[in-house]
Amino acid sequence: MNEMTSSIMMIVIMIAVFYFMLIRPENKRKKQATEMRNSLTIGDEITTIGGIVGTICAVKANSIVIETGADRVRVELMKWAVSSKGVQIAEDEQASENQKAAEAKKKK
Protein backbone atom coordinates (compact mmCIF):
# COMPACT_ATOMS: atom_id res chain seq x y z
CA MET A 1 0.00 0.00 0.00
CA ASN A 2 2.87 2.36 0.81
CA GLU A 3 4.48 1.86 -2.61
CA MET A 4 1.22 2.62 -4.38
CA THR A 5 0.73 5.84 -2.41
CA SER A 6 4.25 7.03 -3.16
CA SER A 7 3.80 6.25 -6.88
CA ILE A 8 0.56 8.22 -7.01
CA MET A 9 2.19 11.11 -5.15
CA MET A 10 5.09 11.19 -7.64
CA ILE A 11 2.67 11.30 -10.58
CA VAL A 12 0.67 14.11 -8.97
CA ILE A 13 3.87 16.07 -8.28
CA MET A 14 5.06 15.62 -11.88
CA ILE A 15 1.72 16.83 -13.25
CA ALA A 16 1.86 19.88 -10.96
CA VAL A 17 5.41 20.68 -12.10
CA PHE A 18 4.39 20.41 -15.77
CA TYR A 19 1.43 22.68 -15.13
CA PHE A 20 3.38 25.42 -13.34
CA MET A 21 6.49 25.24 -15.53
CA LEU A 22 4.98 24.73 -19.00
CA ILE A 23 1.22 25.09 -19.34
CA ARG A 24 0.51 28.11 -17.16
CA PRO A 25 3.24 30.39 -18.62
CA GLU A 26 2.18 29.47 -22.17
CA ASN A 27 -1.44 30.38 -21.39
CA LYS A 28 -0.27 33.74 -19.99
CA ARG A 29 1.71 34.46 -23.18
CA LYS A 30 -1.29 33.56 -25.35
CA LYS A 31 -3.55 35.83 -23.30
CA GLN A 32 -1.10 38.75 -23.55
CA ALA A 33 -0.76 38.27 -27.32
CA THR A 34 -4.54 38.21 -27.75
CA GLU A 35 -4.92 41.39 -25.68
CA MET A 36 -2.18 43.12 -27.70
CA ARG A 37 -3.81 42.12 -31.00
CA ASN A 38 -7.24 43.31 -29.81
CA SER A 39 -5.81 46.68 -28.74
CA LEU A 40 -4.29 47.54 -32.14
CA THR A 41 -5.26 50.99 -33.36
CA ILE A 42 -4.63 53.09 -36.44
CA GLY A 43 -1.14 54.58 -36.39
CA ASP A 44 0.52 51.80 -34.38
CA GLU A 45 3.77 50.42 -35.77
CA ILE A 46 3.80 46.62 -35.83
CA THR A 47 6.04 43.73 -36.78
CA THR A 48 4.48 40.60 -38.25
CA ILE A 49 5.55 37.03 -37.64
CA GLY A 50 7.10 37.11 -41.12
CA GLY A 51 9.20 40.18 -40.30
CA ILE A 52 7.16 42.77 -42.20
CA VAL A 53 7.22 46.16 -40.49
CA GLY A 54 4.47 48.66 -41.11
CA THR A 55 2.03 51.21 -39.77
CA ILE A 56 -1.62 50.30 -39.31
CA CYS A 57 -3.95 52.32 -41.51
CA ALA A 58 -7.20 50.33 -41.05
CA VAL A 59 -8.50 47.89 -38.45
CA LYS A 60 -11.22 45.37 -39.25
CA ALA A 61 -12.79 42.61 -37.15
CA ASN A 62 -10.26 39.86 -37.94
CA SER A 63 -7.73 41.69 -40.11
CA ILE A 64 -5.70 44.87 -40.37
CA VAL A 65 -4.33 46.89 -43.26
CA ILE A 66 -0.76 48.09 -42.89
CA GLU A 67 1.30 50.51 -44.91
CA THR A 68 4.92 49.51 -45.47
CA GLY A 69 7.97 51.43 -46.62
CA ALA A 70 8.45 54.72 -48.36
CA ASP A 71 6.49 53.55 -51.42
CA ARG A 72 3.38 53.28 -49.22
CA VAL A 73 2.38 49.77 -50.24
CA ARG A 74 -0.73 48.61 -48.37
CA VAL A 75 -1.06 45.00 -47.27
CA GLU A 76 -4.02 43.34 -45.56
CA LEU A 77 -3.03 40.85 -42.84
CA MET A 78 -4.90 38.69 -40.38
CA LYS A 79 -4.59 39.87 -36.77
CA TRP A 80 -3.05 36.57 -35.69
CA ALA A 81 -0.04 37.37 -37.93
CA VAL A 82 0.99 40.33 -35.75
CA SER A 83 4.04 39.49 -33.68
CA SER A 84 4.47 42.68 -31.68
CA LYS A 85 3.73 46.36 -31.44
CA GLY A 86 6.70 48.50 -32.34
CA VAL A 87 9.69 47.64 -34.48
CA GLN A 88 11.82 44.67 -33.48
CA ILE A 89 15.58 45.01 -33.94
CA ALA A 90 17.70 41.96 -34.66
CA GLU A 91 20.30 41.09 -32.02
CA ASP A 92 23.27 41.84 -34.27
CA GLU A 93 21.82 45.23 -35.21
CA GLN A 94 21.18 45.98 -31.54
CA ALA A 95 24.78 45.09 -30.66
CA SER A 96 26.17 47.30 -33.43
CA GLU A 97 23.98 50.21 -32.33
CA ASN A 98 25.14 49.80 -28.72
CA GLN A 99 28.77 49.69 -29.89
CA LYS A 100 28.32 52.86 -31.97
CA ALA A 101 26.75 54.64 -28.99
CA ALA A 102 29.64 53.57 -26.73
CA GLU A 103 32.21 54.83 -29.27
CA ALA A 104 30.37 58.14 -29.56
CA LYS A 105 30.53 58.60 -25.78
CA LYS A 106 34.25 57.85 -25.72
CA LYS A 107 34.94 60.49 -28.40
CA LYS A 108 33.17 63.16 -26.35
Tell me the pTM: 0.64
Residue 69: the pLDDT is 85
Band of residue 87 on the pLDDT scale cut at 50, 70, 90? confident
Binned at pLDDT 50, 70 and 90, residue 93 comes out as low
* DSSP code per residue over 10-76: HHHHHHHHHIIIIIHHHHHHHHHHHHHHHT--TT-EEEETT--EEEEEEE-SSEEEEEETTTTEEEE
Mean pLDDT score of the chain: 87
Residues 6+ apart with CB under 8 A from 75: 52, 54, 65, 66, 68
Residue 90, pLDDT score: 62
Q: What is the pLDDT of residues 37-68, one digit of tens each?
A: 999 999 999 999 998 999 999 999 999 999 99
